[in-house]
Structure 1
Amino acid sequence: MKLFLILGALNAFLAVALGAFGAHGLEGKISEKYLKTWNTGVQYQMFHAIGLFIVAFLADKLPQSNLVTSAGWSMFIGILLFSGSLYVLSVSGIKILGAVTPFGGVAFLVGWVLLMVGASKYL
């Protein structure tokens, strides 16, 4: 599915750009703890950008699988909630945003389970 290919490429691009920004633009401006938090967001964003590429590939091969499409949306929502909350937490220091992060983690887990079930059901 073209949309998930675009979302995967966009998120991979953003992960590289945000990783570089963290390494060069934030070093010395935020604490080491928050720099690690930022890097965790980057790492998980890239992992799930790759997941979106897998979804795009499988959605093309398995157009009847709503499970694969749902997996892609779940991963994308996970990126927004998990990585997004870590980015904002890192630069703002607003600790309550850490409460959003687990919802993104659950969305990641749901996405991978949906992908596994959809692929095993239709391949």
Structure 2
Amino acid sequence: MKELVLIIGGIYGTLAVIFGAFGAHALKKRFTADQLKSFETGVKYQMYHAIMLIICGISFPFLVLSQQLTALFFIIGTFLFSFSIYALNLGASSGKKFRFMGPVTPVGGLLLIIGWVLFTINIAKIALYL
């Protein structure tokens, strides 16, 4: 599990840099200011959580379910949150409305919040036993 979490963290980080550059250059002319800002929010959250996955991969032995769930919530939450924002903005800029993606973003955000709560609990347990 540890290796997979680190790999996904690295993939998410790499994609965040690529999507950030793509948004700043290729999409700048295609997106409205609001769409660009929204797209950048997706990129930022993706990078934040890529870093968190790497921190989890370094900090946790993943021997207990709550540590595994922490990483899982970050992985799925990041995918749902950031990638739904990308889809919504890319769709809107090309005249296609992906309305079904609208509710996906807050579900991803909720999973990220749960991931942060679990991370805090797990890291506190580790810190208290050191």
TM-score by length of 2: 0.87
Among 107, 111, 128, the residue aligned to 1:107: 111
**Is contact 1:55-1:69 (8 Å) kept?**
no
CA distance in 1, matches of 2:16, 2:75: 13
CA distance in 1, matches of 2:98, 2:4: 33
- What secondary structure sits across from 2:102 in the alignment? helix
In structure 1, runs of 5+ residues without a counterpart are: none
**Is contact 1:82-1:100 (8 Å) kept?**
yes
Question: What residue in structure 2 maps to residue 8 of structure 1?
Answer: 9
Give deviations 1:93-118, integer Å, cap 9, x for gaps. Answer: 22622221100100100001111112
Give deviations 1:29-87, integer Å, cap 9, x for gaps. Answer: 12111111110000000000011011101223xx4232121111100111111001100
Report percent identity of matched pairs. Answer: 38
Question: What residue in structure 2 maps to residue 29 of structure 1?
Answer: 30
Between structure 1 and structure 2, the one with the greater Rg is 2
- What secondary structure sits across from 1:29 in the alignment? coil
In structure 2, runs of 5+ residues without a counterpart are: none
Question: What residue in structure 2 maps to residue 20 of structure 1?
Answer: 21
Question: What residue in structure 2 maps to residue 116 of structure 1?
Answer: 120
Alignment size in residue pairs: 121
Question: What residue in structure 2 maps to residue 81 of structure 1?
Answer: 80
TM-score by length of 1: 0.92
